[in-house]
Every structure is written in C-alpha cells, then in structure tokens.
C-alpha cells in the first residue's frame, strides 16, 4: 500500500488516526500509577524462626541446619544463606532469575514442614514463617510524633487510636510504632516473700492467667425467656489485679499484693526514640505490594491532617518521605524531556530555516510521546523514572524519520520543480525503505533486553518498550503525517526562497540567510574534504585507528559501577559500641552524636533510635539516626555525609557507619550496595581472626568507607548447666528451669488487662534490684509445670549451676558453610577500582587449609548482569546485520554500515572520562542504544549511493553526490538527538543521576560517530567496492584462461545448445 499517496489524498483520515492515538494516550496518562522505578521482583524467600532466649550456636544446630538441608532440595535454587542469632534463625533462599516466586514460596513451605520433625519439642519454639522478600515493602513514610509529655499516654494513643486511622488509608499495609513507653500492669514479685509462701514465679503467672477470664457457662430458662450464662472474671482495675489470689499458705489465701507490688506503669524501656534531640514516638508506614507510592503517601497525609484536627496538641514531623523524592524525580525527568524537546525543535529550525517546515517535524514529538502513554497503561506499567527516561532519551530520536522524509520532499520540489503534493508522494516513496530500515535498527537493539533475566532485564524492560513504541509511532507519522502536512503547508514556489534565506528583509530572514550561506559553505567544504579522503583512504583509516587507540588508553581511567548513587537527601547513621555496652551508655553517646548532627546547617530533621539494630530487635549497644536534609541545602548528600563522618570519627570508641538511603540502588542490589568479601571456614575463632586481619588490610584502601564486619566480638554470657538427673529426681524438667530463669530476667506476660476496649499486658518479673546478682537468682523456686502444692521447695541452686563464658553474637552461613563477611562502601572512587585494590589486599592474607575467600553474592550477580548485557550487544549487532543484509540484499553492504559502530565507542570513552562518570549499567544501556542509532547515518549514505549508481553515476561521483546530499539530514538528526538528551546528561533535578551516564554515553558516542561516519563509511564503501572488483576480475581472468583451449573431453561433455546440430568428430 502506498501510504504516502493515501495520506496526501485522505488528510481527514490521517488526522483522525492522530487524534485517536493522542486521545487514547491522554486518557491513559491520567490513569497511570506513579512510582520511582518499575516493579522489581527479587527471587528470594526467607524462613524466619524465633526461639526466645536460645543462643546462636543452639539456633544454628537445632533450627538453621535442618531448614538449610531441607530447602536445598528445592528446584531452581541459586543460593542458601542464613543468620543464626540469639533467639532467631533467618534462612534466605535465593532462586534463579525467572523463577515463579509464588510457587517457590509454596515449595519452601512444604520442605520446611518436613524439617520441623527434627526440631526440639519445646513449647516456646515458634512455628517458622515463610515470606517473599520484597524491598518495596520498606517504609515509605516515617513520622516523629511529639506534643504529649507523658510518653506512656502518647504511645497508647498512637497504638490504640491513631495507628488504625493511618492503616485505613488507601494503599497502606501497616503502621508500626516505635519508642515511647508502653503501658503495662507490672507485677514486681519479691523473692523473699515468694519463698516465704512456698510459691514460684510460675505459680504466680499461671494463677493470674486463670483468674483473668470471661467464660461462657451455659444457658438458663426462666419461663419463656432464655438467658445466656457467662462467668465474668476479667480484672476491671489494677486494684483487682493486686487482690487476685495466687495460692494458699497455712489455710489462708495468699493474694498477689502479699508477694508483689502491682503498678500501672510500663516495663523498663529497651529502645529510646528522639526527634531532633527531643523525646518522641516514631511511626513508620509501609505500603501494600503493588500500591502507588505517591498516592498512598498522599492518602496518609490526609489521615494525618484528620488526626491533628482530633488531637491539635500533637505534632507530626516528617523524618523520611520516599514519595517526595519520587514526585520530584518524576517532575524533573519530565522537565528534562520538555527542555530536550524544545532544544531539538530549535536545532531543526536552525537547519530548516522555515517555521512551517519545523512545525511539520515538531508535531511528531507530542503525538509520539502522548500515544506511548497508551502502551504504558495497557501493559500495566507505571509512570516512573525509567519509562519517562526512555521518553526523554527518545525525544531527539523521534524527529529523525520526519527530518529525513521532509528533507527529501524539499529536494524533489527544488530539483524536479514538482508541486508540493506530488513531491510529498515521490519524495516519501524514494526514501521510505531506507527510513524503515534505519528505524528498525534502533528498535531491534532493544529486543535482546527483553530476553535478559535479572534485575537489569526487569528494570529496563519498560525503558526498551517505551523507546520502541515511541519510535514506531514516529515512523508511522513520518510516512503518513509528514507527507500530508508537507503537501499543504509547504509551498513549492516559496520554499526555495525560504530555504535560501530570501524574503522581505526582516530580522528572521536575515538570520536565515546567514545560516543558509554558512550551510552552503559547509556542504562545499565537506565535499572537498571527502574528495581528499577518497584519494587518501589509508590515511583516513590510520587517523581513525590512532584516535581509537588513544581512547583505549583512557579505559582503565574510567571506573565501573552497577548503578550511580542519587542525591536523595536522606541517609542513616548507624553506631555500634562494644559488645556489653549498657543502654544508658549508648544513649549518652547518641546524645553527643545528635548534637553534632543537629548543628549541621544542611540538616532538616534527625530521628534517633537507641537500643535497636534497625530491624526491630533490641540491641543495647546499637543506635541509629535517620537524617533528612533540607531541600535548599548548599551541599550534596554525599558531601554532608563526608563532613559528618569526619566529625563523628573523632568521638572515642565510636565507629559510625553512614549510608545514603538510595532506593534506586537498593532495588537494584537487593538492599546491599557495598563491596563485600566473604571468608569461609568452620572454626569461629579462626574466622574471627581472618576477618579482623582482612579489616586491617582493607582499612588502608582509599575510597573505601563504612568498613564493617558481620562478626562482633564474643558476647559475655551466663550459661546455666542443668543437672538433668537431679532435676528428674526432684520432679522438675529442663523446661521448668528455663521458664523460671526467663521470667526472672526478662519477665513474662501472664495475661492482658482490658480497659476501654484495649489490651495492656500484665507482666510478672523480679524487681531490678534482685536481678543484678546471680546469687539472688540461685534462690529462685522452680515449680513443676503441672502445678500443685509441693512437699518441699526446689531451688535453682539445687538443679543448675551458672557458668560464665563468651559466645558469638551471630553465626552466618552460605551454602551450608560458615562464613564472615567484610564489607565497605566505595566513596569518591568507582566500585571497580576499589574492588581491584581489595583483591590485591586479600591475596596477601595467608589462609589456613579449609579456609578461602570469595566475593559477596551481590558482586557475583553484578558480574552476571554485565555478562548478560554483553550478550545483548552481540545479539543487537547480529540482528542489525541480518536486517541490513535483507534490506540491501547483500552480505557486504551491512559490513560497510556497521563500521560506524566501533566509531561510537571513541566518544563513549571520551565523554565518560571528561565528565568523571563511571561505566555502569545505565551507561551500558546507552552503548546498546548507540549500536542502533549510529548505523542510521551509514544506512542513509550507502542507500542513496546505491540509488545514484543505479541511475548510471560512476562510483566516486555517486559517493561525492550522495554524501553531501545526506549531510544536512545526518547533521539535523544527530544534533536533535544530542540536544534532546543534553538536559538528562547534565543531570538536572532529582533522580537524574540514574539516566545521566546513559545520556552521556549516547551523546559522546553519537558525536564522534557522526563526524567520523561522514568520512569512514564512504572510504570503506569504496575499499569494499575495489575489493569486489578485484575478486571479480580474478574470476574473469580465470574463466578466460579456461576458455582459451578447451580440452577434447570438455567439448564432448558440453551439451548441445537448443537447435544446434552436433557434428560427429572426424576419424583419425
């Protein structure tokens, strides 16, 4: 079908096609969810098992090992790793990319059920929980709530009243409260009085639970009325708790107040939270899986306004807001795309020097972009920095086809003096094959991305499809809309004047005239330079080879990385004090750090958590601060982090770990952005020694910050050695002994006190004064779990002996081997450079037999990502060759066109080197894009040269005519693409750091490739042509030699021609 003729003769139909796509895209745009990045599914399942008060070594042997052995049989397994710590076992099961993680989780659950048969029979051992790892489930909002001085009241208000309101917001999965003081009915049991009444802590706990009950007692009938009978035993006040009977002595009831002090108070706090140095309570909000981050956060803020109307004294300070960064990133990328589009239109106006002509081309930008929104919606994609980044980078490419078609229509008007409508048809038809082929080369380079598994494949699938669809729409516009508009907006008799700058003498005309003269001079200069190049072909290739060699020398100076860090404005400071440090000492140090952080003029808020590892479990020697910087700060996030790192490192005994909260890198790395070295072996003390030696070796590497080891020095502990035989003789079990010790040291929740529809725990514990010494604990009474009144007391000293020792804080394993991980974060140098120095340092460590080191899992998977992308580049080149071979019906001409591909690597290296950017995942995608972009210029040159030779021109004359003729379209399309990507390459706005290396690589590669292609492709074209002639001449000479004196046998074998009479050979 002749699309050009149809478009010129059916303008209304073409207009309606445009309007329908634009309308559909505009409607879909309003319905697109907004998020920072495409949804990345990490194929990881975690198995979490809790067993309170059990040491790491027992957790490893009793729980972790059986689970590891069981899940190792699951299909598509990549790796099994685990962490065994006090009271907790976490087994992470990583699968191959592409695994159905839902089915994988079911398989793991079934295997864990089998492993439970090997677990100890202990009622305190909790059932393992299996869940899918999802980094998007991290909190999207964190508030510091203050305004109520009574922290018990504030915590109760948040737990009971405010949290349900926030969780009712659309898209919210949970709201978790931390800090403050939790109300509880505290039962402080006096050990001396307990022994005097021959009672144990278990007796007290059981009696409280038995007394605090409401139970149904049946049904009673009275006349025609039926009544439900209930026994009401719930405690109605703390006084009733104190009056509850817990036993009898000498025939008298013993109430709880006889042996304990009952307080309406709170348990001893194990975690403190502060906002900007002032006591507060924190609340973290997480979204539902798949929910829109921005809309969810907006819904939460509306609920916060509702809460503040209900409680005007409360103040909600935002300590972290992921949605703000996402919204700013989206807006900034959209602004960059808009600026790039405007720059692309201006460069077109510069070359075309005609407003109508520029309008014809410029219309393809909004129509292609808006139409692409329909694809995003129909494919279930979101509006994120990757999809918008694809549109921004495609802005300069969208106009390519329209420029080439319009320029060819102009030439038909000028050269053949055709009417605009006739020229629109003939000019489009003449160039359409080359335009389709060149556009297809850009589209096919993204196809291998759709086949790549892993994070890169998931992250860039939307990017690839957006570019493909937008360019496909632009191709359709170039072959239909451009001829239609050109036939009506471009006037043949006026075009030549406009193009050459003639007119009524206005400022615009004079500017256009000067530009026209400059372009004419450029055409002439290029023709002369090309003529010299064709006479000095070896010199041209030698110069290009020298430039390529120079660029290769710069490659080692360019660092490598997976993803560039974004300037998010949020980071965390984690402090680890020596093992055994009391919470009060940690609190004292954290207050000192808070003062330093608060004095920094760039800091907006600092939310502190003292006594927590950041994962919710209380660790008294740990503290963390979530820092939110001001929007109008004078320094970048990394600069502020560096300043604070230098200040905090001067505090004695403090080892600060400062990490930027970079959600982009977290999604790409699964939460681990560091360079990691894993040391494997069996003996924990040997691993500890090797880990500390590695720490000392790596500490001197420049650019390696936040050096850390996942091994803490041994934790001081008291191990109770139970005499099982004696315990059996006295009628108590190991479980009875462990429960007694646990209740005495940690307290035990006996039941819950009901008030106002809310529950508060009733906690039985020993007073702090009696928990300080082991001698007091040795006098604890141990009671059999069966209850009853014993004939004599069994004291703890009779069945157990305390042994002081040291134990590991945690044990980590990978693929069922123990290991220690040493990690650090590159700062100021690329991860590739730092990793090379680490490898040299690790080689100097002597490893005993059975011990070895390897890179962490994330480094291995990053290597797999780059290997997959290298394969994608190879596949892209192969697909382009196949496409060009089909277009030219030749095996040789595609090789001529593909000579422009290595030319782009020169610009990529130079651009990354001059801008100081590393070669990472996004730069690799830019290189992949270049493979398809740079061959477009070569296609235009080779295709038109072949057309001219088909019309009878000699080869050199055809080359010297085709190249200058295609010079302006090549310069226009390349300049439009470069300027369209310039705002992203500069890195304007938040979130631009992700796409900046990609745009930089494309701009650099396209710049050098465009310049060199204008000389190298014609030169290689003539060389291949000469080679073909030489080969054909040799074949012809050989054929002539064979035809000079044909042998008699050959004549006899030659079949007679049609109609010929075969004369018999004469007899001898």
DSSP 590-619: HHHHHHHHHT-TTEEEEEEEEEE-SSSSEE
Taking CA atoms, 325 is separated from 30, 138, 271, 391, in Å, by 20, 15, 29, 20
Residue tagged 């465009």 (tokens): 1010
pLDDT at 505: 61
Alpha-carbon distance of 183 to 213, in angstroms, equals: 20
Average pLDDT over residues 651-670: 74
Average pLDDT over residues 349-368: 85
Q: Which of 983, 976, 985 is nearest to 1004 (CA)?
A: 985
Which burial class, exposed, middle or buried, applies to 928 when counting CB atoms under 10 A from its CB (0-12, 13-18, 19+)? buried
> In order of start, what are the domains of the chain with their CATH numbers?
44-133 (3.30.70.1430), 137-183+278-325 (3.30.70.1320), 184-265+716-807 (3.30.2090.10), 353-500 (1.20.1640.10)
Bridge-based pairing state of the strands 704-709 and 129-132: unpaired
Instruction: Judge contact between 1017 and 899, C-beta under 8 A.
Output: yes
- 597 vs 807: which has the higher pLDDT: 597
Whole-angstrom distance, CA of residue 499 vs CA of residue 492: 11
At 989 the pLDDT is 65
Cβ neighbours for 219, distance < 8 A, ≥ 6 positions apart: 226, 227, 228, 229
pLDDT at position 863: 74
pLDDT at 888: 82
Round the average pLDDT of the chain to a whole number and report it.
84
* Residues 256, 208: Cα–Cα separation, whole Å: 9
pLDDT at 1057 over 50: no
Q: State phi, psi for 582 to the nearest 5 degrees.
A: -75, 155
- How many helices and strands, by DSSP H and E, does the chain display? 38, 29
**Distance (Å, rounded) from C-alpha 654 to C-alpha 591?**
13
- Looking at residues 3-16, what average pLDDT do you find? 88
For residue 303, what is the enclosing H or E element? Answer: helix 293-310
Instruction: Give the DSSP letter of residue 147.
Output: S
Confidence band of 604 (pLDDT split at 50, 70, 90): very high
The structure tokens listed for 1024 are: 């291949």
Q: Is residue 359 scored above 80 in pLDDT?
A: yes
Rounded-to-integer distance, Cα 397 and Cα 980, Å = 8
Q: Is the pLDDT of residue 564 over 80?
A: no
| Interior/surface letters 359-378, b for 16+ CB within 10 angstroms, e for the rest | ebbbbbbebbbbbbbbbbbe
Q: What predicted TM-score, i.e. pTM, was given to this entire model?
A: 0.76
The interaxial angle of helices 455-489 and 11-31, nearest 10 deg, is 150
Strand ranges for 96-153 from DSSP E: 129-132, 141-146
pLDDT, mean of residues 719-739: 83
- State yes or no: pLDDT of 756 exceeds 90: no
Average pLDDT value for residue range 692-700: 89
How sure is the predictor about 362, in pLDDT bands with cuts at 50, 70 and 90?
A: confident
The β-bridge relationship of strands 618-629 and 278-279 is: unpaired
Instruction: Tell me what pLDDT residue 713 has.
Output: 65
pLDDT digits over 443-502, tens only? 888 888 777 777 777 778 888 888 889 888 888 888 888 899 888 887 654 444 444 444
Residues contacting 775, CB < 8 A, separation 6+: none
Nearest to 711 by CA among 818, 590, 837: 818
Give the CA distances from residue 888 to residues 45, 104, 1015, in Å, rounded to whole numbers and listed in that order. Answer: 51, 49, 21
Q: What confidence score (pLDDT) does residue 659 get?
A: 84
Q: Which residue has the tokens 């103040």?
A: 315
Q: Which residues contact 403 (CB under 8 A, 6 or more apart)?
A: 348, 361, 969, 972, 973, 976
Which residues have CB under 8 Å from 985's CB, separation 6+? Answer: 915, 996, 999, 1000, 1003
Residue 791 has pLDDT above 60, yes or no: no
Average of pLDDT values for 113-121? 90
What share of the chain has pLDDT > 90, as a percent? 26
Give mean pLDDT, residues 831-841: 86
As a residue count, the chain comes to 1068
- Lowest mean per-residue pLDDT among 49-63, 761-775, 841-855, 1032-1046: 1032-1046
pLDDT interval class at 1047 (50, 70, 90):
very low
Q: For position 1034, what pLDDT does the model report?
A: 57
Residue 673 confidence (pLDDT): 59
Contact 746, 768 (CB under 8 A): no
Measured distance CA(639)–CA(645) in Å, rounded: 10
CB 469 within 8 A of CB 397: no
Tens of pLDDT, residues 193-233: 888 888 888 889 888 988 888 777 678 777 778 777 777 77
Instruction: Summarize the confidence of residues 1007-1036 as an average pLDDT.
Output: 83
Handedness of CA 265, 271, 276, 277 (dihedral sign): positive
664 pLDDT band, cuts 50/70/90, is: low
Is the predicted pLDDT of residue 585 greater than 80, yes or no?
yes
Give 391-419 pLDDT, tens digit per residue.
Answer: 877 877 788 888 888 888 887 887 767 78
Considering only residues 606 and 1047, tell me which one the structure prediction assigns the higher pLDDT.
606
514-524 in b/e form (b: 16+ CB < 10 A) is ebbeebeeeee
At 124-159, the pLDDT tens digits run: 788 999 988 776 677 889 999 998 888 999 999 999
Asked if residue 316 has pLDDT above 90, the reply is yes
Angstrom distance (rounded) from CA 471 to CA 483: 18
Q: By mean pLDDT, which of 462-466, 708-712, 944-948, 952-956 is the weakest?
A: 708-712
pLDDT at 27 over 90: yes
723 — pLDDT class (breaks 50, 70, 90): confident
- Residue with more model confidence, 633 or 746: 633
pLDDT score at 357 = 83
Q: Which two tokens mark 321? A: 């807001």
Residue 406: predicted pLDDT: 85
The pLDDT assigned to 329 comes to: 80
1022: Cβ–Cβ under 8 A, 6 or more apart, which residues? 534, 537, 955, 956, 959
3-state SS, 835-894, equals: HHHHHHHHHCCCCCCCCEEEECHHHHHHHHHHHHHHHHHHHHHHHHHHHHHHHHCCCCHH
Contact 32, 383 (CB under 8 A): yes
> What confidence tens digit (pLDDT) does each residue in 888-941 have?
888 888 888 888 888 898 999 999 999 888 888 888 888 888 888 888 888 888
User: CB within 8 A of 614, min separation 6: which ones?
Assistant: 572, 574, 622, 624
Per-residue tokens: 778: 């040795």
Asked if residue 638 has pLDDT above 50, the reply is yes
Tell me the CA end-to-end span of the chain in Å, nearest whole number: 69
Task: Say whether pLDDT at 62 is over 50.
Answer: yes
Distance in angstroms (rounded) separating the CA atoms of residues 115 and 117: 5
In this structure, which long-range contacts are made by residues 351-356, counting pairs with CB atoms below 8 Å and at least 24 apart in sequence? 351/515, 351/519, 351/968, 351/971, 351/972, 351/975, 352/406, 352/499, 352/972, 353/498, 353/499, 353/501, 353/512, 353/515, 353/516, 354/490, 354/495, 354/498, 354/499, 354/512, 356/489, 356/490
The predicted model gives 993-1004 an average pLDDT of 87
pLDDT of residue 1038: 53
Q: How far apart are CA 978 and CA 971, in angstroms?
A: 10
CA distances from 323 to 142, 302, 770, 1021 (A): 11, 14, 49, 54
Say what the pLDDT of residue 1046 is: 46
In this structure, what are the phi and psi dihedrals at residue 962, rounded to the nearest 5 degrees? -70, -45
């Amino acid at each position: 079908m002749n699309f050009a003729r149809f478009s010129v003769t059916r303008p209304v139909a073409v207009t309606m096609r445009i309007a329908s796509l634009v309308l559909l895209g505009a409607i879909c745009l309003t319905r697109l969810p907004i998020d920072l990045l495409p949804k990345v599914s990490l194929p990881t399942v975690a198995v979490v098992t809790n067993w309170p008060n059990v040491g790491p070594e027992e957790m490893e042997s009793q729980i972790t090992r059986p689970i590891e052995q069981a899940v190792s049989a699951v299909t598509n397994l990549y790796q099994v790793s685990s962490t065994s710590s006090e009271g907790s076992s976490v087994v992470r099961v990583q699968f191959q990319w592409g695994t159905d993680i839902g089915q994988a989780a079911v398989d793991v659950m079934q295997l864990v059920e089998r492993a439970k048969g090997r677990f100890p029979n202990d009622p305190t051992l909790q059932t393992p929980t299996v869940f899918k790892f999802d980094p998007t489930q991290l909190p999207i909002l964190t508030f510091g709530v203050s305004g109520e001085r009574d922290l018990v009241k504030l915590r109760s208000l948040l737990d009971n009243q405010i949290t349900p309101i926030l969780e009712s917001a659309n898209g919210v999965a949970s709201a978790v409260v931390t800090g403050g003081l939790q109300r509880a009915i505290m039962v402080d049991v006096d050990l001396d009085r307990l022994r005097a009444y021959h009672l144990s802590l278990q007796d007290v706990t059981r009696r409280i639970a038995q007394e605090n009950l409401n139970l149904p007692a049946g049904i009673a009938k009275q006349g025609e009325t039926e009544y439900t009978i209930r026994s009401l035993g719930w405690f109605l006040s703390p006084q009733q708790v104190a009056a509850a009977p817990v036993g009898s002595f000498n025939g008298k009831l013993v109430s709880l107040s006889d042996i304990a002090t009952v307080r309406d108070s709170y348990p001893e706090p194990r975690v403190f939270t502060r906002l900007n140095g002032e006591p507060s309570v924190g609340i973290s909000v997480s979204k539902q899986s798949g929910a829109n981050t921005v809309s969810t956060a907006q819904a939460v803020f509306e609920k916060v306004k509702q809460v503040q109307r209900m409680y005007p004294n409360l103040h909600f300070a935002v300590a972290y807001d992921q949605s703000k960064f996402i919204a700013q990133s989206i807006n900034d990328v959209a602004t960059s795309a808009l600026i790039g589009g405007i720059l692309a239109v201006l460069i077109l106006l510069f070359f075309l020097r005609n407003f109508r002509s520029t309008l014809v081309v410029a219309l393809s930008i909004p129509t292609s972009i808006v139409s692409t929104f329909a694809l995003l919606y129909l494919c279930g994609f979101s509006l994120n920095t990757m999809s918008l980044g694809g549109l921004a980078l495609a802005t300069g490419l969208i106009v390519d086809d329209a420029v080439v078609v319009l320029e060819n229509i102009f030439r038909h008007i000028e050269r053949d003096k055709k009417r605009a409508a006739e020229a629109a048809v003939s000019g489009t038809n003449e160039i359409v094959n080359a335009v389709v082929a060149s556009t297809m080369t850009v589209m096919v380079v993204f196809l291998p991305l759709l086949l790549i598994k892993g994070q890169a494949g998931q992250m860039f699938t939307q990017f690839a499809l957006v570019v493909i669809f937008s360019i496909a729409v632009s191709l359709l516009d170039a072959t239909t809309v451009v001829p239609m508009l050109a036939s009506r907006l471009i006037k043949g008799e006026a075009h030549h004047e406009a193009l050459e700058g003639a007119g009524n003498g206005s400022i615009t005309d004079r500017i256009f005239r000067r530009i026209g003269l400059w372009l004419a001079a450029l055409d002439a200069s290029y023709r002369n330079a090309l003529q010299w190049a064709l006479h000095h072909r070896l010199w041209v290739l030698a110069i290009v080879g020298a430039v390529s060699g120079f660029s290769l020398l710069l490659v080692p100076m360019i660092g490598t990385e997976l993803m560039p860090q974004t300037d998010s404005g949020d980071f965390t400071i984690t402090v680890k004090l020596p093992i055994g440090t009391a919470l009060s000492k940690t609190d004292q140090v954290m207050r000192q750090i808070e003062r330093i952080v608060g004095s920094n003029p760039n800091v907006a808020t600092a939310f502190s958590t003292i006594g927590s590892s950041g994962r919710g479990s209380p660790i008294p020697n740990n503290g963390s601060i979530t820092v939110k910087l001001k929007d109008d700060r004078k320094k970048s996030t990394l600069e502020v982090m560096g300043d604070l790192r230098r200040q905090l490192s001067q505090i004695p005994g403090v080892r600060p770990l400062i990490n930027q909260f970079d959600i982009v890198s977290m999604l790409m790395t699964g939460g681990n952005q560091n360079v990691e070295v894993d040391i494997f072996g069996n003996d924990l003390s040997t691993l500890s020694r090797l880990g500390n030696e590695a720490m000392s070796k790596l500490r001197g590497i420049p650019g390696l910050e936040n050096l850390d080891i996942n091994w803490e020095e041994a934790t001081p502990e008291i191990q109770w050695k139970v005499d099982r035989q004696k315990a059996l003789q006295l009628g108590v079990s190991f479980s009875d002994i462990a429960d007694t010790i646990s209740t005495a040291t940690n307290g035990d929740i006996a039941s819950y006190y009901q008030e106002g529809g809310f529950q508060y725990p009733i906690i039985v514990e020993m007073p702090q004064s009696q928990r300080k010494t082991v001698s007091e604990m040795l006098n604890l009474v141990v009671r059999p779990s069966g209850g009853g009144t014993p004939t004599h007391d069994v004291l703890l000293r009779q069945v157990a002996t305390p042994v002081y020792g040291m134990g590991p804080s945690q044990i980590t394993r990978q693929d069922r081997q123990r290991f220690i991980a040493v990690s650090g974060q590159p700062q100021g140098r690329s991860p590739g450079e730092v990793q090379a120095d680490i490898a040299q340092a690790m080689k100097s460590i002597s490893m005993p037999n059975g011990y070895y080191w390897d890179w962490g899992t994330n480094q291995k998977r990053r290597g797999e990502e780059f290997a997959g992308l290298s394969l994608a580049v190879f596949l892209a080149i192969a697909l382009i060759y196949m496409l060009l071979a089909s277009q030219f019906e030749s095996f040789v001409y595609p090789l001529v066109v593909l000579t422009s591909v290595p030319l782009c690597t020169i610009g990529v290296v130079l651009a990354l080197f001059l801008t100081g950017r590393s070669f990472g995942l996004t730069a690799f995608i830019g290189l992949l894009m270049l493979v398809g972009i740079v061959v477009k210029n070569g296609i235009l040159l080779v295709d038109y040269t072949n057309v001219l030779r088909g019309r009878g021109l000699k080869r050199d004359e055809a080359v010297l005519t085709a190249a200058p003729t295609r010079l302006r379209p090549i310069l226009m399309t390349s300049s439009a693409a470069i300027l369209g990507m310039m705002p992203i390459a500069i890195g304007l706005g938040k979130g631009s750091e992700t796409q900046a290396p990609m745009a930089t690589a494309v701009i650099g590669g396209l710049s050098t490739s465009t310049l060199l292609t204008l000389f190298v492709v014609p030169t290689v074209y003539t060389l291949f042509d000469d080679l073909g002639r030489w080969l054909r001449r040799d074949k012809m000479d050989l054929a002539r030699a064979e035809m000079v004196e044909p042998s008699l046998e050959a004549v006899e074998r030659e079949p007679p021609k049609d109609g010929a009479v075969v004369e018999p050979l004469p007899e001898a």
